A and B are shown apart, each in its own frame.
Chain A
Amino acid sequence: MKELFPRKQVMGFIFSLVLTVAALLVYFLDLSFALGMTVLLVTAFLQAGLQLVVFMHAGESEDKATIYTNVYYGLIIALVTIFGTLLAMIWGMV
């Protein structure tokens, strides 16, 4: 039975639960907007990185450079889209 629950993945799961509870503190504690957003950004991106490395085995295969390049490319386009939109439509800086 024990070999079916590898330590790395069990620890990964526990850590992801801890990150979720940490994110929930934003709701249960009365934080300022800036502090709350900081907490959410940190927990969400840590959580995403955790899934990628521990569960999706992103760094295991010989084409890992290609996989990471592709993920970073997708991520950069997504972030440019989101922050570009915020700049033009919400923050009114463009």
Chain B
Amino acid sequence: MKIDHSQPLEYGTEQNKMNILGFWIFLGAEIMLFGTLFASYFTLENRIGSGPSGADIFEITPIIIETFLLLTSSFTIGLAIHAMRLGRQKAMLTFFGITLVLGLAFLSVEIYEFFHYVHVGAGLQTSAFSAILLTTLGTHGAHVTFGLLWGLGIILQIKKRGLTVETTNKSFIFSLYWHFLDVVWIFIFSFIYLKGLM
């Protein structure tokens, strides 16, 4: 395997570069996926039938907490990649671990939020609005859940094998995924919650 040492290790081989580019193409498809969910949400948000509207059920406090948790976790995974490029494995794993803990905290608040919605009578089958709301939030939440398992797997592998051409490549790709989830959340935060509460 030919390793190009003029590049960061995660870009070190041809295969690594292709993996990263391939993941960017996947993220392009993810942008379109969430685009269709937002299109459906904007179409259905006023079709509340006899159920509650967004303004009736959204609570600003958990939304602010979720936003700060996810923003901070996006920052710490960035720091993890920076530490990785310096070859500081221990610091990298610390930042990586903090990222996943913040992600787990985000998920816990989101699960609380789902309980709250069902409790106040906005379940998946209440109205077109509640259905598309829970589908959009749930798709994002499912991505975060998958990210937690994926990230945990990468941490375990780095502990076992150290920072290699493969593990740095996987970590970098994971960081792209995590930042992307933060971007999607910003749009949910702005155009579902804040728009609904305005």
Chain A residues 36 to 65 lying within 8 A of chain B, measured CB to CB, are 36-37, 40-41, 43-44, 47-48, 51-52, 54-57, 61, 63
Task: Identify which of A3, A40, A54, A74 contacts B190 (C-beta below 8 A).
Answer: A40
A85 to B40, CA, bound (A): 8
Q: Which chain A residues border B82 with CB–CB below 8 Å?
A: 4, 6, 9
Instruction: Report how far A8 CA is from B90 CA in the complex, Å.
Output: 22
- How many residues of chain A are within 8 Å of chain B by beta carbon? 49
Scan B29-67; emit 1 where CB is below 8 A from any A CB, else 0.
Answer: 111101110111011000000000000000010001001
Contact of B74 among A40, A51, A63 (CB under 8 A): A51
Contacts of A51 in B (CB 8 A): 74, 179-180, 182-183, 186
A71: chain B residues within 8 A (beta carbon): 24, 27-28, 31
A25 to chain B, nearest CB (A): 10
CA A86 to CA B46, docked complex, whole Å: 13
Is B112 interfacial (CB-CB < 8 Å)? no
**Does B147 count as interface, using CB distance less than 8 angstroms?**
no
Q: How many residues of chain B have a CB within 8 Å of chain A?
A: 53
CA–CA, A43 and B36, complex, Å: 21
Which A residues are in CB contact (< 8 Å) with B68? 17, 20
| B194 proximal to A (CB < 8 A) | yes
Closest to A83 in B: B39
Compute how far the CA of A26 lies from the CA of B29 in the bound complex, rounded to whole angstroms: 31
Residues of the A chain whose Cβ atoms lie less than 8 Å from the Cβ of B64: 24
In the complex, the answer to whether B21 meets A81 with C-beta atoms within 8 Å is no
Please give the distance in Å from B28's CB to the nearest CB on chain A. Answer: 3
Contacting residues of chain B (170-198) with chain A, CB-CB under 8 angstroms: 175-176, 179-180, 182-183, 186-187, 189-191, 194-195, 197-198
